[in-house]
A and B are shown apart, each in its own frame.
Chain A
Amino acid sequence: MNEHYRPTPGTAMEGLDTPCLVIDMDDLDNNMDVIANTYEGRSAKLRGHSKNHKTPAIAHRQIRRGGTVGGVCAAKVSEAEVMVHGGIPSVFITSEIVEPIKIQRLAALADQAEMLVACDQESNARDLSKAAQARGVEISVVIELETGLLRCGVRETDAGVALAKEISSLPGLRFRGIMSHQTIPDMPDREDRAVEAARTIKGVIDLKEAIEGEGIPIDIISTGETWSYDVAAEIPGVTEIQGGSYLMMETHYSYMTEFHYAAKILTTIISTPKPGVAIGDAGVRAVSSLSGMPTVFDRPGVTVEALDSDHAVFKLDSDASLKVGDQVLLIPAQQDAMVSRWDRFIGLRHGQVEVVWDIQARGCHN
Chain B
Amino acid sequence: MERPIFHPVGTPVEQLDTPALVIDLDVMDQNIKTFQSYFANSIVKARPVVTSHLCPQIAHRQLEVDGTTGGIAVTTLGEAEVFANSGFSDILLANQVVTASKIRRLCALAGQTSIGIAVDSPDNAKQLSVGAVSAGIELRVLVEIEAGMGRCGITPGPEAVALAQVVDGLPGLKFEGIMGSVPGPRGDDDPSDHEAKSRANLKIVLDTKTAMEQAGLAVSVLSVGGTHCYAQAIQMPGVTEVRAGRYPLMDHRLKSFLPELAPAARILASVISHPVEGMAVLDAGHKSTAPDQGRPVLEGMEGGVATRFSAEHGIIELEGDAQNKLNPGDKAWLVPYELGATVNQYDYFRAIKNGKLEGFWPISARGRLA
Contact surface of A with B, Cβ cutoff 8 Å: 1-2, 4-5, 15, 17-20, 51, 75-76, 78, 81-82, 95-99, 101-102, 120-121, 123-124, 146, 149-155, 268-274, 277, 279, 281-282, 284-286, 288-290, 306, 308-311, 313, 324-325, 336-337, 340-343, 360, 362-366
Most buried by B among A76, A277, A360: A76
Residues A1 and B367 in contact, CB atoms below 8 Å apart: yes
Give the interface centre of B5, B149, B292, B338 by most chain A CB atoms within 10 Å: B292
Inside 8 A of A271's CB, which chain B residues have their CB? Answer: 96, 98, 120-121, 151-153
Q: How would residues 318 to 333 of chain B score, 1 for a CB under 8 Å from any chain A CB and 0 otherwise?
A: 0000000000110000
Do B155 and A343 touch across chains, with their CB atoms under 8 A apart? no
Given contacts A309-B75, A324-B123, A342-B367, contact A1 B1 (CB under 8 A): yes
Rounded to whole Å, the gap between the CB of A141 and the closest CB of chain B is: 15
Encoded as 1 (CB less than 8 Å from any A CB) or 0, chain B from 1 to 29 comes to 11111000000000001111000000000
| Interface contact B272-A19, CB-CB below 8 Å | no
When distances are taken between beta carbons in the complex, the residues of chain B under 8 Å from A306 are 150-151
In the bound complex, residues from chain A placing their C-beta under 8 Å from that of B230 are none
Mask: chain B, 323-362; 1 = CB below 8 Å from A; 0 = not: 0000011000000001011001111000000000000000
Known: A101-B17, A271-B121, A309-B340. A95 touches B313 (CB 8 A): yes
A152-B272, A154-B275 known; A78+B2 contact, CB < 8 A: yes
- Once A146-B275, A288-B292, A366-B19 are accepted as A-B contacts, the answer to whether A273 and B153 lie under 8 Å apart by CB is yes
11 contacts between A and B (CB under 8 A): A19-B369, A146-B275, A152-B275, A270-B152, A272-B121, A273-B154, A274-B155, A288-B290, A337-B287, A364-B3, A365-B284
Contact partner of B275 (CB less than 8 A), chosen from A120, A308, A341, A343, is A120
Q: Which of B124, B155, B273, B368 contacts A96 (CB 8 A)?
A: B273
Contact with B146, one of A268, A273, A308, A342 (Cβ below 8 angstroms) = A273
Answer whether residue B186 sits at the interface, using C-beta atoms and an 8 A cutoff.
Answer: no
Question: Which B residues lie within 8 Å of A270 (CB)?
Answer: 95-98, 152
B57-95 residues at the A interface, CB under 8 angstroms: 75-76, 78, 81, 95
Do the beta carbons of A279 and B151 come within 8 Å of each other? yes
Taken together as a complex, chains A and B put the C-alpha atoms of A366 and B17 apart, in Å, by 7
> Shortest Cβ distance from A4 into chain B, in angstroms?
8
Q: Which residue of chain A lies nearest to B15 when distances are taken between CB atoms in the complex?
A: A101
Question: Top 7 closest A-B pairs, CB basis?
Answer: A78-B3, A363-B2, A365-B288, A270-B96, A271-B152, A152-B273, A75-B312
Q: Show the binding face of B for A, using Cβ within 8 Å.
A: 1-5, 17-20, 51, 75-76, 78, 81, 95-99, 101-102, 105, 120-121, 123-124, 146, 149-155, 270-273, 275-276, 279, 281, 283-284, 286-288, 290-293, 308, 310-313, 315, 328-329, 338, 340-341, 344-347, 366-370
Q: Name 4 extra pairs, CB < 8 A, besides A5-B78, A308-B149, A324-B98.
A: A95-B283, A310-B76, A337-B292, A363-B1
Q: Bound complex: CA of A121 vs CA of B51, how far in Å?
A: 42
* Alpha-carbon distance A155/B278, docked complex (angstroms): 14
In the bound complex, what is the Cα–Cα distance between A207 and B130 (angstroms)? Answer: 71
Cα-based distance from A75 to B272 in the complex (angstroms): 13
The distance in angstroms between the C-alpha atoms of A51 and B287, with both chains bound, is 10
Residues in B with CB closer than 8 Å to A121 are 273, 328
Contacts of A311 in B (CB 8 A): 151-152
Q: State which of B272, B290, B346 has its C-beta within 8 Å of the C-beta of A98.
A: B272
Are A364 and B75 CB-contacts (below 8 A) given A76-B312, A124-B328, A324-B123? Answer: no
- In angstroms, Cα B204 to Cα A66, docked, is 61
CB B298 to nearest CB in A, in angstroms, measures 16
A96-B328, A151-B310 in contact; A309/B341 too (CB < 8 A)? yes
Query: A285 CA to B290 CA in the complex, in Å?
Result: 9
Alpha-carbon distance between A71 and B224 when the two chains are bound, in angstroms: 53
The answer to whether B346 touches A2 (Cβ under 8 A) is: no
Are A95 and B312 in contact (CB-based, < 8 A)? yes
Write out the residue numbers on chain B whose beta carbons fall within 8 Å of the beta carbon of A284.
290, 292-293, 338, 341
Q: Which residue of B154, B272, B286, B366 contacts A290 across the interface (Cβ within 8 Å)?
A: B286
CB distance A337 to B95 under 8 Å?
Answer: no
Give CA–CA (A281, B347) in the complex, Å.
Answer: 22
Let me know if A5 and B276 touch, CB within 8 A.
Answer: no
For the complex formed, measure the closest distance between the CB of B187 and the CB atoms of chain A, giving whole angstroms: 16
Least distance between B204 CB and chain A CB atoms (Å): 14
| Choice from A2, A82, A123 contacting B368 with Cβ under 8 Å | A2
**Interfacial chain B residues near A340, Cβ < 8 Å:** 287, 311, 345
Assembly CA distance A281 to B51 (angstroms) = 14
From B272, which residue of chain A is reached at the shortest CB distance? Answer: A96
B4 to A, closest residue via Cβ? A366
Q: Which residues on B sit within 8 Å (CB–CB) of A81?
A: 3
